Amino acid sequence: MIQINEEAGVIALHTASTTYAMGVADGRYLGHLYYGSRLYLSEADLENLRASMRLEEAPAVPSEDPGEKSGFLDAFPFEYPTGGIGDNHEPCLDIVTEAGQTGLELHWSGYRVCTGKRPLPGLPGGHGGKQVEPGESVNEREGGDSYGSAEAVQTLEIDLLSEGGGLLVTLIYGVFEKADVITRAVRICNRSKKTVFLTRALSFALFMDDEQRLEVMTMGGAWARERRVVRQKLEYGALVNESLRGESGHQTQPFMALVTPETTQRTGKVYAALFAYSGNFLSKVQVDEQRQIQIVMGIHPGTFHWMLAPGEIFDTPEVVLTCSECGLDGMTAHLHDFCRRHILRGSWVHRERPVLINSWEAMYFDISADRLLALAREAKEVGIEMLVVDDGWYGRRSRDEGSLGDWSANPEKFPGGLASFARQIHALGLRLGLWFEPEMVSGDSDLYRAHPDWMLRTAHHVPSMGRNQYVLDLANPSVVQYLCEALDAVIGEAQLDYIKWDMNRSITDFGSSFLPPQRQGETAHRYVLGLYKVQEHLVRTWPELLLENCSSGGARFDLGMLYYSPQIWCSDDMDPVERLPIIEGTAMLYPPSVIGAHISRDHNDVSQRTTRMEDRARMACLGTFGYELDLASLPRQLRSRIPAQIARHRELAPLVLEGDYYRIASYRENQRYDCAELVSKDRGEAAVFLFFVLGEPSRRSLLLHLEGLEEASLYQVYWDEESDQVQLDEGAGGVQWGTSKPFGEHPGQLYRGSVLMYAGIVIPRPRGDFHSLILRLHRKEDRFGRKND
Ligand code: DGJ
């Protein structure tokens, strides 16, 4: 709901449990007033919010005290700060005029409110689409291009004008009432007769007093160690979280949250910002001399310089804001619901994905039609539904060198051609998926030989290779068109059901031979726009195609890519222990249904650690679930467990797709065990995923407190006892756990929700290292004594 008191000059945006408010000072300056718990306000109450602008204190507004204008501009909590005029906080917008001059002051000009949410041209962002029902097609949901509002979604646009009126800056606020999210983006229009250069155009700033001594949360990492949660105290000065790698990166995540010091999973206040963008970004938080906090986020100015000719418009990507009084789980709940309902699109979002087998860790580059067909037959036998042929199927590729860009099947590996291979796979009753790395080109490729000018490079530097490859110039529309056509041709030829879109190096040499000199600084952002264009083309041309994004593991896991693909490969590290902190960070922001998760072989190639298949299978249940190992070399008794693993995954899939996620314990924090829980929206079903890491002699059983259940309802608790038996069969390390069968003796023991949540449930401690367990909960009786079956 959007509430406006024009006389008082105050606007309040309300979601179910939050309020975001702004005010106009001195008739012209737009300031931030409040973001936090929902305020219930009469029109008259709105005026009281103006207090936070401190207009009664010195320095007075410029109309009263023009002599202290720069002091006012420095103290005022600008909603969209600009550089060069006296505000010494982080600016969102900086310009250079044709005369080479800087400095910009923006004044309030007006506003519009509309129902629903208009898409940002060429960019991902929150849409107002209604929940897709299972079986409903993408077209029914989206009604072509219409992003109508079946839910309570509204948009507020506020116009700010530069002095002289040459630049119109429109602040766009999406109000997603049910999801408790406010989105922010900015449109900049040059209405003058002269060119203006934007040297930074961030998407948002937020100002607040720091009486609460807020701490900041970000995520760090590396290849195979993505999205580790980092929390730091804030002191005077600034803290930056950024990527200049051309993607969100293994090392960073376009996310920043401010939390009160006492914040835990369930308590404390959290203000979070997540960027729906997949390229270079900057997020920065600073504490000023008044202990006011300012946070900004947007396209990284370090690789951004945009020429805005007369009449041209520039749109920034969107930042997603949420605020919770219920700790980190509250933030997670808002972000998951928002992502599921307002970011993800297409026919797969609410559908169970086919269980796949991927050839990468099964065979690496050593693939051929014969070997893949053998793998497919074995896969079919155990209930797998899709074969994904990973890297190595095209050109003359046999190692990580050469052929990128030549997207036709390697004739030696596929002597009968791709179409015939695809027919054979489909004839087995399997779906077929193929790996591509569309953004890349090898020096040794027909594409490079035909178009040496199609790669990113600057005139004065020999471009750097990464994984022996160059990056195509997606800022060039011819390259974008070529990619659309090349992908369409293979998808059509092989009737593909799935694509894994990989990207295996960070981007360097942001120079485009297509763009004129004054526009070279646009290359990095235009690259991302080109990437989105190709993926939008795929989504629209092949509505049933399941697209999975990937970047050398999980280096491009962001809301931007999720707008195009309902799942992203999470990490090249499939070791279940290594995955614990990766999943913790990833699922803190994104729902488990979008997290690519496979079961690899027992001795993990990345971690060099050996674990049991059941532990890996349980871990993969917290994501899209698939296999990535050579079934032929898998011991018989392990292969025979696959149908049961798939059945368990299927049972859990509805919870993974739509359930509320709770983090019960963090291995990253306690260094002992990890626990996450999923609860259905109606509270009738739940699953608890428990992973013990190292054996702990002399430790008593664990008293586990669950979350999200109905206090008075009666739940039957099962554990996946049958698969535990397999641990014994495997005999790895002489596992004893499970022989005492605590729940086995009382299968389906009944507990009240309140007991499970407040008194806790006793979990026997396993002996030895690495054990996992999934508890299943069904509501047998609700609080009125009505039976559920
Ligand atoms: C990196 C991906 O993360 C892997 O899964 C695999 O597809 C390789 N690239 C192939 O080159």
623 ligand 1 Cβ < 6 A: no
- Bridge-based pairing of strands 313-315 and 181-190 is antiparallel
pLDDT at 211: 81
710 ligand 1 Cβ < 6 A: no
**For atom 3 of ligand 1, which residue has the closest CA?**
553
472 by Cβ neighbours in 10 Å (0-12 / 13-18 / 19+) ranks as: buried
572 ligand 1 Cβ < 6 A: yes
Does the pLDDT value for residue 740 go beyond 70?
no
Percent of the chain exceeding pLDDT 70 equals 94
Cα separation, 564 vs 240, in Å, equals 28
| pLDDT 10s digits, 121-168 | 999 999 987 533 434 443 333 333 333 444 589 999 999 999 999 999
Does the pLDDT value for residue 336 go beyond 90?
yes
**Spacing, Cα 638 to ligand 1 middle (Å):** 25
**For atom 1 of ligand 1, which residue has the closest CA?**
552
**pLDDT (average), residues 365-377:** 98
502 ligand 1 Cβ < 6 A: yes
**pLDDT (average), residues 554-580:** 97
* Least confident window among 186-200, 745-759, 760-774: 745-759
The answer to whether the beta carbons of residues 249 and 219 sit under 8 Å apart is: no
pLDDT at 151: 59
**pLDDT (average), residues 12-31:** 97
Cα separation, 642 vs 387, in Å, equals 15
Does the pLDDT value for residue 722 go beyond 70?
no
Tell me the Cα Rg of the chain: 27
pLDDT at 744: 39
How far does CA 464 lie from the centroid of its chain?
Answer: 29
Residue 210 pLDDT level (bands cut at 50, 70, 90): confident
**pLDDT (average), residues 372-391:** 98
**For atom 6 of ligand 1, which residue has the closest CA?**
360
**pLDDT (average), residues 49-61:** 94
pLDDT at 724: 45
**pLDDT (average), residues 224-242:** 96
226 ligand 1 Cβ < 6 A: no
The answer to whether the beta carbons of residues 448 and 471 sit under 8 Å apart is: no
**pLDDT (average), residues 680-685:** 97
**pLDDT (average), residues 499-504:** 98
The answer to whether the beta carbons of residues 627 and 598 sit under 8 Å apart is: yes
Does the pLDDT value for residue 409 go beyond 80?
yes
* More confident call, 479 vs 771: 479
Cα separation, 644 vs 746, in Å, equals 21
When mean pLDDT is compared over 138-142, 371-375, 766-770, the highest value belongs to 371-375
Cα separation, 674 vs 229, in Å, equals 14
Cα separation, 219 vs 536, in Å, equals 28
| pLDDT 10s digits, 640-655 | 999 999 999 999 999 9
Q: What is the residue-averaged pLDDT of the chain?
A: 93
**Owner of token pair 């992973």:** 691
**pLDDT (average), residues 691-699:** 92
Does the pLDDT value for residue 745 go beyond 90?
no
The answer to whether the beta carbons of residues 764 and 742 sit under 8 Å apart is: yes
**For atom 9 of ligand 1, which residue has the closest CA?**
552
> Is residue 124 reached through a cis peptide bond, with omega within 30 degrees of 0 on the bond before it?
no
**Spacing, Cα 505 to ligand 1 middle (Å):** 11
Neighbours of 333 (CB within 10 A): 19
Three-state SS letters, 737-764:
CCCCCCCCCCCCEEEEHHHHHHHCEEEC
**pLDDT (average), residues 751-762:** 96
pLDDT at 729: 36
Percent of the chain exceeding pLDDT 90 equals 89
Atom of ligand 1 lying closest to residue 572 CA: 3
Facing residues of 21 across strands?
12, 34
pLDDT at 147: 37
504 ligand 1 Cβ < 6 A: yes
663 by Cβ neighbours in 10 Å (0-12 / 13-18 / 19+) ranks as: buried
pLDDT at 739: 35
Does the pLDDT value for residue 738 go beyond 60?
no
298: nearest Cα among 323, 310, 280: 280
Cα separation, 789 vs 780, in Å, equals 6
Cα separation, 483 vs 474, in Å, equals 9
pLDDT at 87: 95
| pLDDT 10s digits, 601-640 | 999 999 999 999 999 999 999 999 999 999 999 999 999 9
**Spacing, Cα 655 to ligand 1 middle (Å):** 28
Ligand 1 pocket: which of 361, 436, 442, 550 to mutate (most atoms <8 Å of CB)? 550
Catalytically annotated residues = 502, 572
Does the pLDDT value for residue 382 go beyond 90?
yes
Facing residues of 296 across strands?
205, 284
520 ligand 1 Cβ < 6 A: no
**pLDDT (average), residues 86-98:** 97
